[in-house]
Amino acid sequence: MSSLNLDDFTDLIERPDGGVRRDAEARRERGAVPPGALGRLDDLGEWLAAAQGAVPVRPVERPRVVLFAGDHGIAAAGVSARPAGGAEHLVRAVLEGGRPVSVLARRLGVPVRVVDMALDCDPAALPAEAVRHRVRRGSGRIDVEDALTLEEAEAAFRAGVAVADEEADSGTDLVVLGDVSVGGTTPAAVLVAALCGTDASVVTGRGGEPIDDLAWMRKCAAIRDALRRARPVLGDQLQLLATVGGADLAAITGFLLQCAVRKLPVILDGVVSAACALVGQRVAFRAPDWWLAGQSSGEPGQAKALDRMALEPLLDQGVTVGEGAGALLALPLVQAAAALAAELPEATGPRESTEPTEPTGRVEKEKEEGDLSPEGRGI
């Protein structure tokens, strides 16, 4: 039996400060730009103010990309475009600057941290900082066996909590969260289907590097078989992660929950982080208030999870590559919302209106004709 009591998170996690959010909304109402003229950026600015507990909102100056990495045994069933055990090469490419997230992070000046939880490689092949939280070498094949033992799931979950504390203590003010894995979208889809009560076909997507129809059918069958193993343990979220998750998914779940405890906002990337967030919501219902959905990847499992958590993606670019790349694209939008909320002045005179006005010549003509009724104005 695990010594970890997930119920504690329900008491530890508070919602972002509602009073501060109302103050931010009132400040926006007094602004020189009419409410609503900036669209969703207004809401983002208010959300940030509530998360920071500050009006005006502080700029997002120390964001960080955090990527949890692992290999999944289910990849051996032919459900992925990449060979089983191939996540090490992706991690190396990220660290060497040759992946999309690396390019975007350089462009935006954001540091990238990779946390190896279950790569199927010799730990000596990677930097010591990356491998120090590793729980095991690869996660089990979830259609026929558990991904982890319960003890390993607890260790991975605690590692995620520790990483969240390290980021909060170091001054990180916003996290862009992603994963680097081979086979990871399959356990993610199983978690979403299990928690939403749907069939395998509803949540089975094509993965980060799109697979062909035959591989999709194998993936659907693997998710179906794993779902049979998941349903008996739905009441125990840690056991669920051990049964059909993986070390990286357990760590992401712990990371997300502890970020909510530490009041550290997170931008979610694709289906893997969305699935872990859904597990986190089952643990502590207030936790999703601290998370943003960065982008819509087109994966059906992600869409199902975000809908269940009432999270609307900031962008819809269909980025499926994972690694936090899609979420990182949303970071400038969040930073722009913070800047606008903080730096736009309050109105000093009559505020510009967004309401359409009638052209003077047309109004005068209608007055002369004596017809200002809705019918006469063509409304």
Q: Which residues are catalytic?
A: 323
Burial class (CB in 10 A: 0-12, 13-18, 19+), 15: middle
Burial class (CB in 10 A: 0-12, 13-18, 19+), 345: exposed
- Contacts for 87 with CB less than 8 Å, ≥ 6 apart: 69, 70, 71, 119, 120, 180, 181, 182
End-to-end CA distance of the chain: 69
Whether residue 346 contacts residue 327, with contact meaning beta carbons closer than 8 Å, is answered with no
CA–CA gap between residue 136 and residue 119 (Å, rounded): 8
Phi, psi dihedral angles at 67 (to 5 degrees): -120, 125
CA–CA gap between residue 36 and residue 354 (Å, rounded): 9
CA–CA gap between residue 17 and residue 244 (Å, rounded): 35
Burial class (CB in 10 A: 0-12, 13-18, 19+), 212: exposed
Q: Cβ atoms within 10 A of the Cβ of 359, count?
A: 9
CA–CA gap between residue 191 and residue 278 (Å, rounded): 8
CA–CA gap between residue 116 and residue 66 (Å, rounded): 11
**Pair of tokens at residue 255:** 């990371």
The H or E element that residue 271 is part of is helix 271-283
> Which residue reads 């007055």 in tokens?
367
Please give the order of strands across the beta sheet that includes 291-293: 112-118, 63-71, 174-182, 266-268, 291-293
